[in-house]
């Protein structure tokens, strides 16, 4: 039993690291250019999302409707489903815990990606928004909106560091609209 739990935990963390690289590849090669003539993710992300949420005060939602911030609900399971055949093979030929660890990691990573990405663009003073890790991730993502071929990770930027696409925050983030209004008063 303890061996199975250890295998699950080890493969879960390995799955999180792998998910960082998968996010990087998906972001770079599907969300910033059409792939094999398929343009849905490219249009939704590079043209619509980046067009509405730029590296200025429009980075935050403000009083606009919260559209184009997250993946369409039908698209969310695809990163995990893509890996289903490989996870099934691992479950059959290695062990069930070795397959469940990455499966849960991929699902957790996708959930954290969606929620944190939303919170970055729609800050509401949530308890974690003042945390240094979240602030780092938010600034990391803000730089992606400044230069789209950098800082491709939202959740865990290990792939950005290793693959050389990490860009440091050169100037402070733009003021949120309510901060701009308060300063003008």
Res. 180: pLDDT tops 50: no
How would residue 173 be classed by pLDDT, with cut points 50, 70 and 90? confident
pLDDT for 2-30, tens place per residue?
Answer: 999 999 999 999 999 999 999 999 999 98
Distance CA 145, CA 142 (A): 5
Q: From 12, 46, 55, select the one nearest 26 (Cα to Cα).
A: 46
Return d(Cα 130, Cα 156) in angstroms, integer: 18
What is the rounded CA–CA span in Å between residue 102 and residue 182?
Answer: 46
The arithmetic mean of pLDDT across residues 34-61, rounded, is 88
Q: Is the pLDDT of residue 175 over 60?
A: yes
Instruction: Considering only residues 183 and 152, tell me which one the structure prediction assigns the higher pLDDT.
Output: 152
Q: Give this prediction's pTM.
A: 0.87
Domain boundaries, the chain: 2-184
Q: Give me the pLDDT at residue 185, please.
A: 46
Instruction: Give the whole-number percent of the chain exceeding pLDDT 70.
Output: 93
Q: 73 or 147: which carries more pLDDT confidence?
A: 147
The position carrying tokens 């935050």 is 60
77-119 pLDDT tens trace:
888 888 999 999 999 999 999 999 999 999 999 999 999 999 9
Span 177-184, average pLDDT = 53
Which pLDDT belongs to residue 168? 86
């Amino acid at each position: 039993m303890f061996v199975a739990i250890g295998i699950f935990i080890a493969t879960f963390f390995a799955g999180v690291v792998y998910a960082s690289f998968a996010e990087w590849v998906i972001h770079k090669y599907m969300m910033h250019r059409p792939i094999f003539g398929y343009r849905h993710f490219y249009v939704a992300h590079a043209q619509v999302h980046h067009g509405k949420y730029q590296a200025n005060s429009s980075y935050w939602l403000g009083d606009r409707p919260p559209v184009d911030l997250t993946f369409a609900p039908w698209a969310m399971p695809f990163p995990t489903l893509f890996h289903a055949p490989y996870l099934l093979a691992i479950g059959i030929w290695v062990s069930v815990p070795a397959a469940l660890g990455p499966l849960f990691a991929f699902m957790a990573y996708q959930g954290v990606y969606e929620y944190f990405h939303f919170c970055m663009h729609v800050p509401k003073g949530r308890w974690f928004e003042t945390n240094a890790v979240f602030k780092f991730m938010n600034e990391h993502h803000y730089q992606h909106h400044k230069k789209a071929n950098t800082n491709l990770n939202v959740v865990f930027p290990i792939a950005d560091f290793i693959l050389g696409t990490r860009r440091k925050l050169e100037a402070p983030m733009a003021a949120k609209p309510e901060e701009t209004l308060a300063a003008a008063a």
